[in-house]
Amino acid sequence: MTAGIQAYPNLLALVGNTPLIRLNRIVENFKGEYYAKWEAYNPGHSNKDRIALHIIEEAEKKGLLKKGTTIIETTSGNTGFSLAMVSMIKGYECILAVSSKSSEDKISMLRSMGAKVYVCPANVKADDPRSYYQVAQRIHQETSNSIYINQYFNALNTLAHYKSTGPEIWKQTNGEITHLVACSGTGGTISGCARYLKEQNPNIRIIGVDAYGSVLKKYHETQELDPKEIYPYRIEGLGKNLIPSATDFDVIDHFEKVTDEDSAHTARAVSKNEGIFVGYTCGAAVQAIKQLHAKGEFDAKSKVVAIFPDHGSRYISKIYSDQWMKEQGFFDSDHVEASNKVEYIR
């Protein structure tokens, strides 16, 4: 920027270039150094700003979008918010089919960006007409002048991270990164970063984080999509009941599974110990680091980068609510309620 008014042309100029932050207390006494790539610094508060902007701008370059075109997507919330934000700024309509697992907060946020939202049952098969994939497909077919983003099967999702997140991590770690730990949903983040990082140094270990109730880990290990692996779980945005083509399983070295309960408590602990108000999957990533550290994955020379996809403000009525945690049965002798109780002055 030169002299005069120092302003960005609009919010979209701020997508990407998120900070890398050293983790301290949460990994005290761990071997190696641990860093968080804090994606909540994107203007839409998650890693999904990158793919929303990239996919829409690629469609613009191909001449596929006109003023008033409807952008349609299935989303656990974050992709929807980013698409709604980018669509609104650029003058497109946005329709989103979301899973009933998405928090009320997330749904209200999508509506605040002007999107039309359809809430679809979470625990039905991907080919069920009520699933959010099928609902989005149907709306796309019925809406003329619309495009379907299809993030799970869109190579541009992975490319967005290959072009931005991966190079940023390489630069920010001065090429010293030894491990990348990233939750895998569509797999775009982990696969795009991994492709770029492995081109720079093939020895970098790429670790995906998966949920119990998701098929990804078993598929990676056996090339078999085992329906027995599929059952309901709580964490939003992590794991899958199908195999996304946006995931490049060849560049991922290992998948680590984490539980809903451990991830929730670890997210709360990260917020409390680092002052970084993290989302649920940030907790999942740190939980995976804890498990892998216990298994001897890291040594004193390890420089581990964990992707922190989104902000804790999206989970206030979930993992940051003692009431919600209690309803899930997440408090027991190992995991207790927050000790800093609220005092009511009457």
CA 282 to CA 120: how far, in whole Å? 25
CB nearer to ligand PMP: pick between 69 and 261: 261
Strands (E), the chain: 20-22, 33-38, 70-75, 93-99, 116-120, 146-148, 179-183, 205-211, 254-258, 303-308
CB of 185 to ligand PMP, least distance (A): 3
Are 266 and 282 within 8 A, CB to CB?
no
Residues 6+ apart with CB under 8 A from 336: none
CB nearer to ligand PMP: pick between 65 and 238: 238
Q: What is the DSSP letter of 230?
A: -
Nearest Cα neighbor of 284 from 313, 253, 262 is 262
CB nearer to ligand PMP: pick between 134 and 151: 151
CB of 78 to ligand PMP, least distance (A): 4
* SS3 of residue 169 by DSSP: helix
Number of H helices, E strands in the chain: 11, 10
CB of 10 to ligand PMP, least distance (A): 24
Are 307 and 183 within 8 A, CB to CB?
yes
- 275-314 footprint of ligand PMP as x/- string (CB under 6 A): ----x-x---------------------------xx----
CB nearer to ligand PMP: pick between 76 and 173: 76
Token reading at 309: 């996809």
62 is catalytic: no
Neighbours of 111 (CB within 10 A): 12
Interacting residues with ligand PMP between 119 and 138 (CB under 6 A): none
Residue 213 in the binding site for ligand PMP (CB under 6 A):
no
CA 3 to CA 93: how far, in whole Å? 36
**Nearest to ligand PMP by Cβ — which residue?**
237
* SS3 of residue 180 by DSSP: strand
Out of 37, 48, 198, 318, pick the active-site residue. 48
Out of 237, 239, 283, 312, the residue judged to bind ligand PMP by CB under 6 A: 237
Residue 166 in the binding site for ligand PMP (CB under 6 A):
no
# chain residues binding ligand PMP, by CB under 6 A: 16
Interacting residues with ligand PMP between 238 and 257 (CB under 6 A): 238
Token reading at 258: 């984490």
Residue 184 in the binding site for ligand PMP (CB under 6 A):
yes
CA 120 to CA 246: how far, in whole Å? 22
Out of 187, 213, 239, 312, the residue judged to bind ligand PMP by CB under 6 A: 187
CA 233 to CA 221: how far, in whole Å? 21
Return the CA Rg of the chain: 20
Stretch that binds ligand PMP, among 90-98, 167-175, 180-188, 266-274 (CB under 6 A): 180-188
Stretch that binds ligand PMP, among 6-14, 81-89, 186-194, 290-298 (CB under 6 A): 186-194
- 31-70 footprint of ligand PMP as x/- string (CB under 6 A): ----------------------------------------
Give contact residues for ligand PMP (rule: CB under 6 A): 76, 78, 183-190, 237-238, 279, 281, 309-310
Q: Tell me which residues are annotated as active site.
A: 48
